């Protein structure tokens, strides 16, 4: 009888394992890739901000990025505001 009582927790444990592999693990992987992208930003990279602004990195510091979005128009952003780096091959 005691063995059967232990089987009551099996579906709950399987649900948590499934939840981990379907939601938590992919999100952690995506977060790691984003952090790596932000850490690898450099002058001359073409980027798109989270708000959809396209620009060229002209200056970069520990927490800020300066983007040239047009002639003589520079905007400072927090590094976390960069959504993606654009490759010229695309």
Mean pLDDT score, 18-25? 90
Mean pLDDT score, 38-62? 94
Count of domains observed in the chain: 1
pLDDT category at 59 given cuts 50, 70, 90 is very high
Whether the pLDDT of residue 5 is over 70: the answer is no
Predicted local distance difference test score (pLDDT) of residue 7: 72
Q: Which residue has the higher pLDDT, 5 or 69?
A: 69
Which residues are within 8 A (CB) of 64 and not within 5 positions of it... i.e. 6 or more apart?
76, 77, 78, 79
Look up the pTM and report it.
Answer: 0.70
We report the CATH number of the domain holding residue 12 as 2.30.30
Question: Widest CA span of the chain, in angstroms?
Answer: 79
What domain range includes position 48? 2-86
* pLDDT tens digits, one per residue of 60-84: 999 999 999 999 999 999 999 999 9
Taking a C-beta distance cutoff of 8 angstroms, is the pair 53, 74 a contact? Answer: no
Burial of 28 (0-12, 13-18, 19+ CB in 10 A): exposed
């Amino acid at each position: 009888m005691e063995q059967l009582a232990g089987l009551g927790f099996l579906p709950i444990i399987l649900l948590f394992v499934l939840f981990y592999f379907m939601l938590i693990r992919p999100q952690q992987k995506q977060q790691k890739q984003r952090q790596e992208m932000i850490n690898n930003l450099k002058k001359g990279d073409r980027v798109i901000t989270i708000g959809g602004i396209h620009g060229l990195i002209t200056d970069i510091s520990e927490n800020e990025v300066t983007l040239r979005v047009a002639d003589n128009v520079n905007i400072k952003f927090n590094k976390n505001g960069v959504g993606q780096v654009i490759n010229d091959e695309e």
